[in-house]
A and B are shown apart, each in its own frame.
Chain A
Amino acid sequence: MAKKTYDLLFKLLLIGDSGVGKTCVLFRFSDDAFNTTFISTIGIDFKIKTVELQGKKIKLQIWDTAGQERFHTITTSYYRGAMGIMLVYDITNAKSFENISKWLRNIDEHANEDVERMLLGNKCDMEDKRVVPKAKGEQIAREHGIRFFETSAKANINIEKAFLTLAEDILRKVCDLTTMSFFQSQHQYFYLSHTLTLFFKIN
């Protein structure tokens, strides 16, 4: 009657310029709360949230990185372990959007090749201060073949949807891998892919 707390562990990573709201996005998802005071993340932090998808309990370990350049060497060392990466920009900050291509290059350079990526245009509640049209976000996402959402941690828009969609995309990938082979027998932990660094328990 031993009860496991989860079936799968997914490691996600949030990246993007300083001040775009990565920590707020994560705080909204993990604690359903919002704080207006800006506290710059020091290096790297994480939160845990367990969700249920397709009847499976999935523990999400979400790494929140500092956007500031000076923490670059610390944060990039966490790319490798991530199965999903959320690139966040601020729709009221043109520079943060321009830098998305820089963050995409960082992923190419430091993350696993099969990492699932997603683009988020945060602060979409601030329509009067918008400088990045939604179409521009959609365009760059299309060019790189990744999903895109406009979110607001403050107004709780698309936050849960974004995380669940990213988790679903990873789950789909993982299931494809299990059906391909790799597993040995039932009631065992299966090593799926050394790049995914994932242990999968099937009941």
Chain B
Amino acid sequence: DSDMPLMEESEKLRFGEESSPALAFEKDAFELTVEDVYDISYVIGRDLLKISSTGEEVSDLQFRIVRVLEMFETLVNKYNLSLEELKMERDNLKSELDRIQTAGPNQLVVDLTDPNRPRFTMQELKEVLQERNQLKAQLMVAQEELQLYKSGILPQAEPAMVEVDLETPAATEHSPATINDAKEEKTTIGKL
């Protein structure tokens, strides 16, 4: 028992000179490659050969060690593949992000397949709303006239003064000269 540490010491020295397979034992577990696993297997295999006794117990142990090393190989392989996949995924996302960002910080990237994507300009919306409100006002005027006509207040010869101011916001600046125009407008609405 007491000479065990000495043995380890001498082995280390020997492998150190060769400067190869045994180095795999020094590596960080997460940095191991399949080649390192093969190096480790090589070293363990070589050490097993040095054990002179050839009993059944030893061969069972050898078999288990080989099995563990195979499992180790699979795990290291799998780990490295996953890592590689994640790196690729990251790079893809990075380049996608770059593509989006080149559109500018204040620009929107629109998915053309999205049925709910924005597709009308503010000007178009403005016009649609103006038209809607105009029609709504006309409907109100018509309803009012109908009400008056039904109640017999409205004689057919003389139209009632019904007016809803529908100037578009841009046209709200009036000059006194529009008084007459306004009168005409009222008459027209009355006749409708």
Segment at the A interface, from B15-23, B38-46, B61-69, B125-133: B125-133
Q: Number of A interface residues at 8 Å Cβ cutoff, please give it.
A: 27
Residues of A within 8 A of B110 (CB): none
Q: State in angstroms the CA–CA spacing of A46 and B164 once bound together.
A: 12
Residues of A within 8 A of B183 (CB): 189
Residues of B within 8 A of A74 (CB): 122, 125-126, 129
A-B contacts counted at CB < 8 A amount to 77
Q: Mark A35-61, 1 if CB is under 8 A from B, else 0.
A: 000000011111010000000000101
Most buried by B among A5, A59, A77: A5
Residues of A within 8 A of B176 (CB): 191, 194
**How many interface residues does chain B have, given as a range?**
20 to 34
Known A-B contacts A5-B148, A5-B162; the reply to A48 vs B172 at CB < 8 A is: no
Residues of B within 8 A of A201 (CB): 161
Least CB distance, B125 to chain A, in whole angstroms: 6
Known A-B contacts A194-B173, A197-B167; the reply to A4 vs B133 at CB < 8 A is: no
Segment at the A interface, from B29-37, B96-104, B151-159: B151-159
Among residues of A, the one whose C-beta sits closest to the C-beta of B172 is: A81
Q: Establish whether residues A2 and B155, one from each chain, have CB atoms under 8 Å apart when the complex forms.
A: yes
Known A-B contacts A4-B160, A5-B144, A5-B162; the reply to A194 vs B126 at CB < 8 A is: no
Q: State in angstroms the CA–CA spacing of A127 and B154 once bound together.
A: 50
Let me know if B182 is at the binding interface, CB within 8 A: yes
Residues of A within 8 A of B159 (CB): 2
Residues of B within 8 A of A78 (CB): 169
Known A-B contacts A3-B148, A61-B165; the reply to A194 vs B174 at CB < 8 A is: yes
Q: Give 5 nearest A-B pairs by CB, closest first.
A: A4-B161, A77-B169, A81-B172, A2-B158, A43-B129
